[in-house]
Amino acid sequence: MIVDDHEVVRRGIAEVIDRTEGMGVVAEAGTVAEGVRRAALVRPQVMLVDLQLPDGTGIDLMMSLRESLPDTHMIVLTSFDDDDALAAALQAGAAAFLLKSVRGTEIAEIIRQVAAGRTLLDERTVTRRRADHDDPTADLTPSERKVLDLIGEGMSNREIAERLGVAEKTVKNHITSLLSKMGLQRRTQVAAWVAGHKHSSWRSEPGD
């Protein structure tokens, strides 16, 4: 069963599955509510669940079905390569985490492995990924974090100094320090980093 609010995505995956020997799509859904209702009727062996749905998240859906469909294997399907999403999927009982950029043959193979009872997502995967994606802002002081946010808002050093009630030289010192801690060289790189992380979460915009 496929749960994704994009019909084109559902159709594409369904074609791959239906062309694969021994597999078939028993139902499709585009919302959490529809997914819960249809899953209860067809009791699928495997469910591919999108993280972002119009009326909630794929995590909500999986949590809703854990007790009623204990034998159904869950695969998270998402466009977000996000460590928080990975951890949430693991907590909800997902057996695998699949990016929408994956090739059709890989989708079929992962479904086959999960259907056979294999778990491709575990605590070690999440921990290892998080170690590989350490937060470059982890060592910043509270003052440096404030400066970071204000740079992201497009403020000049003088404007930041006025906002925080400090000398402009203090702001420059904070920037020098945060550049060093984040492994960056220029102020513009800081602004780009903030912009890139503001809307990167899988929870931010439904329907993606």
Q: What are the residue ranges of helices labelled H in 116-141?
A: 123-132
- Per-residue model confidence (pLDDT) at position 195: 76
Which residue in 13, 60, 6 sits closest to 32, CA to CA?
60
**Do 148 and 186 fall into the same domain?**
yes
Rounded average pLDDT over 1-20: 92
Local confidence band at 115 (pLDDT 50, 70, 90 cut-offs): very high
The total number of structural domains in the chain stands at: 2
Cβ(62)–Cβ(17) under 8 Å?
Answer: no
Residues 63 and 106 in one domain: yes
SS3 sequence, 19-72?
A: HCCCCCCCCEECCHHHHHHHHHHHCCCEEEEECEECCEEHHHHHHHHCCCCCCC
For tokens 């990924």, the residue is 129
Position 41 scores a pLDDT of 96
Domain assignment present for residue 95? The answer is yes
Domain boundary among 97, 132, 167: 132
28 & 110 share domain? yes
The mean pLDDT value for 84-99 works out to 84
Mean pLDDT, residues 110-114? 93
Which pLDDT does position 207 carry in this prediction?
Answer: 46
Q: In this structure, are residues 106 and 82 in contact, taking their beta carbons and an 8 Å threshold?
A: no
- For 172-178, what is the mean pLDDT? 93
- Record the pTM: 0.63
Q: Which domain holds residue 174?
A: 142-198
Residues 33 and 67 grouped into a single domain: yes
